[in-house]
Structure 1
Amino acid sequence: MLAAAIIVITFALIFYSIGVWSERIQKTLKWWHAGAFALGLICDATGTFLMSRISDESPDTGTSGFDKIMIATGALAIVLMAIHLVWAIIVLIRDRPSEKAKFHKFSLVVWSIWLVPYFTGAIGAMAG
């Protein structure tokens, strides 16, 4: 189950990064960007669920500093990703060019915060 969780979380990184950076490069928010944000959120939530199942099944060995950072920032990141997706849909429906052109600033903030649990989880797993 660990391999599946790692793969799904990595797909979240791929989808979310493609959506965020494509939006930034293209300088306007498009519907397919919101689709990439949605796929990233779905993969992240699925990977997080799988990781929590693994954690529940393993014996209590304590929580490391990396784990505490990953748990706190991971919860924040999922909430922000959901808000980001909903806000993207609202901006797209309203279809205001100025909002669509500025949306990437919010995207980059959410993406940057999302990277914290991704990399602390990876570092924590490698550190053992």
Structure 2
Amino acid sequence: MLALAIVIITAALIFYSIGVWAERIQRTLTWWHAAMFALGLACDLTGTILMTRIAADERADGIAQNAAGAIMAWSGTAAIALMAVHLLWAVVVLLRGRESEKTAFHRFSIVVWAIWLVPYIAGAASAMAG
């Protein structure tokens, strides 16, 4: 189950990064970018659920959670919530259709993406340490 979770979390990184950086390069938010945000969020949520189950099984077996795992758990929850807000705000901006909002949206996207990297990196560190 760990290998599947790693693949899904890595797919989240790929989809989310494509959406964020394509938006930045193209200098305007489009529905295609929002679709990449949604795929990234869906993969991240799925992978996080799998990782949570794995961690619960390990704690049941008496294996303590390391510091990187604790950071990942806390920041991962915050990152998923922020990704959801990011996606919802992207939909609002697209529905409004204001060019000024669509061309400035990338600033928010980059911040959310950078914050999302914290639990991703913490998770990788946790896996390597464990």
TM-score by length of 1: 0.97
Deviations 1:64-94 (A, max 9, x none): 1111111111011000000000000000000
Whether 1:112 and 2:114 are equivalent positions in the alignment is yes
By how many angstroms is 1:56 displaced?
1.7
The aligned counterpart of 2:85 is: 83
Deviations 1:13-33 (A, max 9, x none): 000000000000000000000
Gaps of 5+ in 2: none
Q: Secondary structure at the match of 1:41?
A: helix
The aligned counterpart of 1:37 is: 37
By how many angstroms is 1:63 displaced?
2.0
Q: Which consecutive segments of 4 or more residues in structure 1 shift more than 3 A?
A: none
Pairs aligned (count): 128
Q: Which amino acid aligns with 1:102?
A: A
Q: Which amino acid aligns with 1:16?
A: Y
Q: Which amino acid aligns with 2:55?
A: S
1:70 to 56, 69, 72: 72
By how many angstroms is 1:123 displaced?
1.0
Q: Which amino acid aligns with 1:95?
A: G
**2:4, 2:68 → 1: CA distance?**
21
Gaps of 5+ in 1: none
2:104 to 102, 105, 119: 102
The aligned counterpart of 1:54 is: 54
Q: Which amino acid aligns with 1:64?
A: N
Q: Secondary structure at the match of 1:101?
A: helix
Deviations 1:16-56 (A, max 9, x none): 00000000000000000000000000000000001111112
% same residue: 62
The aligned counterpart of 1:28 is: 28
RMSD over aligned Cα, in angstroms? 0.7
